[in-house]
Structure 1
Amino acid sequence: MEASSSQLRTFGQTEINWDKLDKTKFYVVGAGIFTGVTLALYPVSVVKTRLQVASTDTVERSAFSVIRGILKTDGIPGLYRGFGTVITGAIPARVIFLTALETTKVAAFRMVEPFKFSEPTQAAIANGIAGMAASLFSQAVFVPIDVISQKLMVQGYSGHAKYNGGLDVARKVLKSDGIRGLYRGFGLSVMTYSPSSAVWWASYGSSQRVIWRFLGHGTDLKEAAPNPWTIVSVQAAGGIIAGATASCITTPLDTIKTRLQVMGHEKRPSTRQVVKTLIADDGWKGLYRGLGPRFFSMSAWGTSMILAYEYLKRLCVKDD
């Protein structure tokens, strides 16, 4: 994965270079794997979104009460509102993201190698740059999908409008606001997801190095390769650390972005008005609405996605 010789010496036994992958197999198999992970974790996103848009008079103000309310009114399907829209848009967005991530990471490692930073620092910088770049490239596809799916997630909840599927949302948004309506919150999405992605990948890359060093794996090429379960455990731990770090830093921006994206065109608040409302309702902690589900979501998503991602790369290594 990494370009520098020192990084490859240390982690060549546990990581796979981008140029060693069968790209066609990587994208096709990856679409199936990531769809399965999304299916398993999607309800967490629905709960988080509902908590973030809840008004002061909403009875359901905790994750458990939101789940009970959804199950009572809509059953299990209620936890998957907007899922079809997300999957449709997630596949091209994921292709763009992963391609940009891997290609940028190679260039970033080459860029930072002359500075002779420690391995964890090099990994944090290179992975952070790659994560931010990948997020920026994928936002053009992701933001409209995010707008549509979030409106479906909260329809009929806390005074929000109801729709007949994703196409109905897109039609009504385009009718009322034009194409820019599908990009509401684009600036905040970039400000939220790009730093979040940078922090996530930086934390993931550096924490792995720290953990491997703690476990006593150095740069000796004659070392026996770690067993598969050790590799998976280190990757999972890195995913949890990365998710925890990113969620704590970026939740306020995510809360504001979500509120802007789900508001009807007749309300159309500014970013400042959204912040004032959140603070007036709950004080500064209002900016951290949904932190619990977001923390769980980013940790669970991050760990599941990174394990699926690393497994996918192992599956798609080219035959020598």
Structure 2
Amino acid sequence: MASSDIDWDRLDKKKFYVVGAGLFTGVTVALYPVSVVKTRLQVASKDTLERSALSVVKGLLKTDGIRGLYKGFFTVMTGTIPTRIIFLTALETTKVASLRMLEPFRLSDTTQAAISNGVAGMTSSLLAQAMFVPIDVVSQKLMVQGYSGHTQYRGGLDVARKVLRSDGIRGLYRGFGLSVVTYVPSSAVWWASYGSSKHYLWRILGDNSGEEGTPSLLKIMLVQATGGIIAGATASCITTPLDTIKTRLQVTGLEKKISVKQVVKDLILEDGWKGLYRGLGPRFFSMSAWGTSMILAYEYLKRVCAKDEDV
């Protein structure tokens, strides 16, 4: 393993959670508008005028100002912090357990990193979805309200009340199966790609260029950022069709009942097979930007929260 890696056992857990909550809130604030634009592009009907990222941004700024780019933000933040705690805890503990199980097989560092990170990403995403899907359903309805004929709401609680009145608790888990099918493989691919590319880059660059035999901070950040971009590109290309279908299914009006098959037919009818890749540009940028920012913040968080004897 690269000498820059900091394992779960070496972290001050209390500091990790407190500092992490603040750090990832900052990342969410910076990149949230990309999610709003991506979601609006995915649900745009055939007759919608705003069908490019730039036109969506212009439309939001014209009607709502800067706050239009943050539709549903506070609802997302309500569920994001506890969801991230679950995700990161499961990610780190599963990664450690997976590495221990792989030890007898004597695999290369790159292969071990790909497998352990992939399994950890898959497991942590599966656990996190149970908490995050209701938040996702509510926030996405807020993101697209008033757009392309979608219902207007008075806030997150208004959305939740109307969904519960119409469909019961299962309404808040609309698209749960697709979310699992989308995000679990996406998380597995993202973390596997990140883990393997990071170790491959260390092998090329060499792991000992700084003082006292440790890599320089600049070198560490360069490897992590490059790994994040590679991981984001790989995951977005593989999972965008599923994400587009899931988003459409989740934001459909409460009075409508629509199946996955119907969503696919509508997308193909409107734009051909490329309709399944609606929002690929913003999703690619979102996953690359989110991934790179998140991983740099995450790795920085681990360095800050490493126990004194490991700093």
Q: Please give the residue correspondences for 1:175-186 in structure 2 after superposition, counting only pairs within 5 Å.
A: 175-186=165-176
**Aligned counterpart, 2:276:** 287
- Whether 1:158 aligns to 2:158 is no
Structure 2 residue corresponding to 1:304, chosen from 280, 290, 293: 293
Which range moved further: 258-267 or 287-296?
A: 258-267
Structure 1 residues 223 and 24, CA gap change in structure 2 (3 angstroms): closer
For the pair 1:113 / 2:106, whether they are aligned, the reply is no
1:112 deviation in Å?
1.9
Q: How does 1:82-93 map to 2 (within 5 A)?
A: 82-93=72-83
The answer to whether the 8 Å contact 1:143/1:186 transfers is: yes
- Provide the aligned C-alpha RMSD in A: 1.3
1:36 aligns with 2:26: yes
Tell me how far apart the structure 1 counterparts of residues 69 and 195 of structure 2 sit (CA, whole Å): 33
CA distance in structure 2 between the partners assigned to 1:251 and 1:36 by the alignment: 25
Pair 1:141-2:141 in alignment:
no
Task: Report deviation, 1:117.
Answer: 2.1
In structure 1, the gaps of 5 or more residues are: 1-6
Partner of 1:278 in structure 2? Answer: 267
Are the aligned partners of 1:85 and 1:149 in contact in 2 as well (CA < 8 Å)? Answer: yes
Could you tell me how far apart the structure 2 residues matched to 1:223 and 1:62 are?
A: 51
Question: Aligned to 1:59, what secondary structure does the other structure show?
Answer: coil
Aligned pairs for 1:42-57 (under 5 A) are 42-57=32-47
- For residue 308 of structure 2, what is the aligned residue in structure 1? 319
Paired amino acid for 2:296:
L
Structure 2 CA distance for aligned equivalents of residues 17 and 122 of structure 1: 15
User: Counterpart of 1:35 in structure 2: which amino acid?
Assistant: T
TM-score in terms of structure 2 length? 0.97
Which 5+ residue runs of structure 2 have no aligned equivalent? none
Question: How many Å separate the matches in 2 of 1:122 and 1:79?
Answer: 40
Q: 2: distance between equivalents of 1:317 and 1:123?
A: 21
Question: Any idea what the Cα deviations from partners look like across 1:193-213, whole Å, max 9, x if unmatched?
Answer: 000000000000000011111
Shift of 1:223: 7.8
Question: Could you list the runs of 4 or more consecutive aligned residues of structure 1 that deviate by over 6 angstroms after TM superposition?
Answer: none
**2:262 is aligned with 1:238:** no
C-alpha deviation, 1:30, in angstroms: 0.5
Query: Does structure 1 retain, via aligned residues, the 8 Å contact 2:118–2:192?
Result: yes
**Aligned equivalents of 1:111, 1:285: Cα separation in 2:** 42
Q: Distance in 1 between matches of 2:257 and 2:299?
A: 42
Output the CA distance in 2 between the equivalents of 1:318 and 1:176.
Answer: 50
What's the % identity of the aligned pairs?
76
SS in 2 for 1:199: helix
- The 8 Å contact of residues 260 and 268 in structure 1, kept in 2 or not, is answered as no
Whether the 8 Å contact between 1:101 and 1:130 is mirrored in structure 2 is yes
Matched letter for residue 289 of structure 1: R
Amino acid at match of 2:250: Q
**Whole-angstrom CA distance in 2 between matches of 1:75 and 1:63:** 16
Deviations 1:92-128 (A, max 9, x none): 0000000000000011111222222222111111100
